[in-house]
Amino acid sequence: MAERDDPEIIGRRVQQLRRERGMTQRQLAEPAYTPAYISTLEAGRVRPSDEALRHLSERLGVEFDELATGRPAHLATTLRLGLTDAQRTLATGEAEAAAEQYAALLAEAERHGLDAEQAAAQLGLGECALDVGDLAVARRHFERAEKSLADAPLPSRVPALRGRAVSHYLAGELRYACYLLESTLDELNRSGLHDPDALLLLYASAIGPYMDMGAHARAAQAAEFALALAPQVGDPALVARMHRSVARTLLAEGRVAEADASLAKAAELYRQLQIRTELANCHWMRGYLYVQNGELKRAEKELREALGMLAEKRAALYSSQVAVELADVLHRRGRSEEAAELLHGVLGDIGPERGAVHSAAAHRLLGIIAEDARDTEAAEEHYVRALSLLERAGAAGDLADLCRLLGDLLRRTGRVEAALDAYRTGLGHRTAPGTTTLGPAPAQPPL
């Protein structure tokens, strides 16, 4: 039951409702109470019992909760239904329309002091902002959701914490994203709060940052835990998201058939749920898989499908990231001019604060294309920009490869000492253990 208002507020509410209905204090009081009691109650000098409030609500023709709290009857239920509708809107790819729904629901929840519904609306607004690539706005919404749930059990706060981590990850802050995910996992596992949905969401979300940091062993471990937790999870959207994330680490281990099977499971679940963004991401990851397996024609088809679906719902950040990977495929297929045009078209949408790893990948590929065209000055400029982006993000595996490219370019242009420095930097990143901020891996969940 919602917490009651103070006696003074309840008294003023009773008096207002009585006058609106043209009733005297005697008419409201009879037959169970006296006019003097009603006078004292309206003056705020007595705290009415549940029995008294039930009598008054019946005489005034309002619900008990509305008289005690000022909230319309069934408001919380109505808001929750609205939140479900907004979630469905977001799931079908209409992030802007969903944001309008969430904003209206948030205003209503704030007006009536409903903390849980406020948190759900803030969480939804954060997911909408992630979809369109507005990372700073997304982070603020997730932080507010977390604040609204400050007194709730940790599993209830996990979606907001995970949203915050993803916004930092997409902004290129890989280590901090890992810190948020790992510290939450440790707190859940070590305190006995073994909520399968919360654990699966965190482990699946950690795979991307681990892979970009070159921490492949961590990614593989997180994937194994996520797969083991999946049978305990009832939310098909969550299971589908897990299968898509796990596919990436399976691929890194060379388990191509298993990765493809995991993506197929995710895609089928998302088709059933009509979740367009996640389905687009499945095509994206499948394209990535085909690239690693050398099947460039199939990769191009999958990435174009993903790009079309994401562009259709105006998911700018994700669209730009897919475009970078599609450009790589086009370059490998001998269509470098088309690839360069695509890359220049998306560089304005990604950068140090927004998709840093993919921004670096775009500059890296433009550098390679410039080298092929014998424009060494442009190539070096792109490589240096990419190096700066990757160093800021801490993407160790990509840094090592980029240092090799830059070193080779410097050596070919006669700058041997600078080339040696680049190679040494690359070797340092290649030999780094890829550990995250916390050092030891998170505690293992009970499986």
Specify the pLDDT at position 440: 56
pTM assigned to the model:
0.66
**pLDDT reading at 2 higher than 60:** no
pLDDT the model gives residue 64: 79
Tens of pLDDT, residue by residue over 358-400, are 888 899 999 999 999 999 999 999 999 998 888 887 777 678 8
Q: Where is average pLDDT lowest: 39-53, 161-175, 257-271, 432-446?
A: 432-446
pLDDT digits (tens, 9 = 90+) for 326-339: 999 999 999 999 99
The overall average pLDDT reported for the chain is: 83
Determine the average pLDDT of the residues in 110-132: 87
* Lowest-pLDDT choice from 235-244, 316-325, 373-382, 383-392: 235-244
Give the pLDDT score at 99: 93
How high is the pLDDT of residue 366? Answer: 94
Residue 235, both tokens? 């939310």
Report angle CA 216, 220, 223 to the nearest 5 degrees: 135
What do you get for the CA distance between the two ends of the chain, in Å? 36
Tens of pLDDT, residue by residue over 143-194, are 999 998 888 888 889 999 999 999 998 888 888 999 999 999 988 888 776 7
The predicted-structure confidence for 245-261, as pLDDT tens digits, reads as follows 787 777 777 777 787 78
Residue 34's region, left for phi above 0, alpha for psi from -120 to 50, else beta, is beta
Distance separating alpha carbons of residues 396 and 288, to the nearest angstrom? 19
Closest CA to 83 of 65, 101, 58, 62: 101
3 state DSSP class of 246: helix
For 72-114, the pLDDT digits (tens) are: 656 666 777 777 778 778 876 788 899 999 999 999 888 877 7
Model confidence at 434, pLDDT cuts 50, 70, 90, reads: very low
d(CA 98, CA 105): 11
Residue 198 has pLDDT above 70, yes or no: yes
Residue 21: CA count within 13 A, CB half-sphere: 18
Reply yes or no on whether the pLDDT at 312 is more than 90: no
pLDDT tens for each residue of 298-309: 999 999 998 888
